Structure 1
């Protein structure tokens, strides 16, 4: 059985129940939450509620369900390449390439990592989102962990919620940062542009820690460790510091050019995606309890950009 108990925040007063729960339970799809409400598995103050009901804030939420009895993933299996870093009876660790969407959504019905996972292991169809418990943006490369069993799924969700999964990134940002630090700023939907995220007072807590690895003059290579996992978190936090990621088409000021004299200015201007790579991952194995960690090389395009930035001016010319 899977059990969840929580209390709705007072700040949620007046909002739809399913919307509020979707924000409080980010590791579950809204469709799954709505299913729980419709079947009465998820109760509010001990009573069944409709998904469109408004909340007053302070209600007690209680869920008891058996994931094994739910049909979770209905999507076609498709042969799509991805790099396998680790696999055992409970876990898959993959190196997601830039450009691969994690799971189907509006405008992307298939051709995603989820479809690729179902081709790799059809039994993943029995798990929520084919075992996907966290995501990377389409154009972010690097490490992701996927559950292969119900035990692993529950364990990974719990570890993520308890901030016990360690995720390390490399980010190339605009500007010359003097030192590292932390950003502790809430993230939510942008008040005007609903497809973007932003630092907003009503957002969910978000904490990013960063350190300077190398300065190139007009940009800086950072190591970033996430304490939370909000949508676009690193991209939003770096933009909030006025040091957006190189190549970020959403959070960097539109078409802001690098000066012609900047190191590898043309390569920086032409980099086709946000310069962000999930390089390290550590977690507790769901079955053995052993602490496991992985680190992978930089994505080839990102590594090439850093190589060009490292070249002396006469070589670049």
Structure 2
């Protein structure tokens, strides 16, 4: 692993001049600015107001709730600051797509997304900051969503404050297409939908669970791709994006993910299976889950774009063995 780089991205100054038309009468200044400057989040604009970076007719305003009369000249002079102390590292980074607005990356199994205690470097964020140092100016280095360490697949990364705001809004409006491949225990007869709220497990705060009373809405659609003797390859499409959603929902449906150390339960081995198959099942110690397909409207052009990432080799190899086991048993 390479040493972290000490290089920091130069902070960027933002200057804007706006005019409040007569119909802005009665609007809060933070609401007005959020409508006029969609490339910046309302919380960031409120911070700038409180820091004295906004002037109305030449006078500093420091209260986000300040009301406009209409006809005012508004000036903003603020600085985009580095959002964290994380540093770039020259790590392997599988960039599937890249332009001035965003990146699409394919995260491998085992790579932590964000630095945290025990994983201060060697993460996806460190790789992104080396590849595009301007991401230091964005929350979470521009990452709009995340996947678990032992889940592989596609993630979108914003490159500017404008595209970050637009992509976060699109995600909150469920405008992303996110489809995952998974291998689950049991024979799934047909596709379906799990519509069950997810929240912290009352019995174990380190885990998530279906908790209808206190949880947040969560919807997962799934369909069958291939059945083996005692396992099924399925595709899951997320309508919402709760923590561990697919893992929790498929376990709730009675089909836990193969290899899932948290929600998978006890490993179920095949009766009378070839030793190579038994060994492969024992050795598969991560959730068999891959973010295979991602689709979204480009934040600047409005064009709908899609990307696909091939299954990682461990899932490909395991399914080949399960397929051979099924054929050998004439099942």
TM-score normalised by the chain length of structure 1: 0.77
Partners of 1:195 and 1:178 lie apart in 2 by: 32
Distance 1:229 1:194, change over 3 A: same
Distance 1:68 1:149, change over 3 A: farther
1:11 maps to which residue?
none
Conserved 8 A contact 1:186-1:205? yes
How far off its partner does 1:71 sit? Answer: 3.0
1:270 maps to which residue?
283
Conserved 8 A contact 2:229-2:322? no
Partners of 1:203 and 1:144 lie apart in 2 by: 25
Query: Unpaired runs of 5+ in structure 1?
Result: 6-27, 48-64
1:217 aligned to which of 229, 242, 254: 229
- The yes-or-no answer on 1:295 pairing with 2:282 is no
1:97 aligned to which of 89, 94, 108: 108
Q: Secondary structure at the match of 2:311?
A: coil
Query: Unpaired runs of 5+ in structure 2?
Result: 1-15, 17-28, 33-40, 53-63, 67-75
- The yes-or-no answer on 1:147 pairing with 2:119 is no
- The yes-or-no answer on 1:106 pairing with 2:108 is no
Conserved 8 A contact 1:166-1:282? yes
Deviations along 1:195-223, one digit per CA (max 9) or x if unpaired, are: 11111120111100000111102111111
Deviation beyond 4 Å, 4+ runs, structure 1: 1-5, 65-68, 312-316
How far off its partner does 1:315 sit? Answer: 7.0
How far off its partner does 1:68 sit? Answer: 5.9
Larger Cα Rg: Structure 1 or Structure 2? 2
How far off its partner does 1:266 sit? Answer: 2.7
How far off its partner does 1:154 sit? Answer: 0.9
Deviations along 1:211-240, one digit per CA (max 9) or x if unpaired, are: 011110211111100000111000000111
Partners of 2:261 and 2:143 lie apart in 1 by: 26
TM-score normalised by the chain length of structure 2: 0.74
Conserved 8 A contact 1:102-1:138? yes
Partners of 2:323 and 2:315 lie apart in 1 by: 13
After superposition, the CA RMSD in angstroms is: 3.2
Conserved 8 A contact 2:259-2:267? no
Which moves more between the two structures, 236-245 or 305-314?
305-314
Q: Secondary structure at the match of 1:106?
A: coil
1:88 maps to which residue?
99
How many aligned positions are there? 271
